[in-house]
Amino acid sequence: MTQHIEEENVVLRKTHSYMETLKSHLGEELNENIFSALEDQCLQHKETLQMLKSLEEELVILKESFAQCNEERTQLFHDLSNLRQEFCSIVNHSNA
């Protein structure tokens, strides 16, 4: 997903560069509102990409936390199993 975000950033930069080139070639013939709207869309797209990158980083952290919780859970079940075995052994030994 990070590669996709980087590719989108490259496209965004190329689009902005193309817009500036087009603007300089056409001069005042085109309505400034069109360029303003396009620049606004580029800015919104950039902000969306930044949010996606931030969410991706959060997802990585959550995955790591989840993996750690699973490891701890597995260890707790292992410890519980050992305690049960010890308890059964003590009960059997005391009944003998």
Does pTM top 0.85 for this prediction? no
pLDDT of residue 57: 94
> Residue 17: which domain range?
2-95
* End-to-end CA separation in angstroms for the chain: 63
Count CA atoms closer than 13 A to 85's CA, side-chain side: 6
Angle at 14 between CA 10 and CA 19, to 5 degrees: 150
What pLDDT sits at residue 51?
94
CA distance 58 to 65: 11
Tens-binned pLDDT, residue by residue, of the chain (96 aa): 677 777 777 777 888 787 777 777 666 656 677 778 888 888 898 899 999 999 999 999 999 999 999 999 999 999 999 999 999 999 998 887
Number of domains in the chain: 1
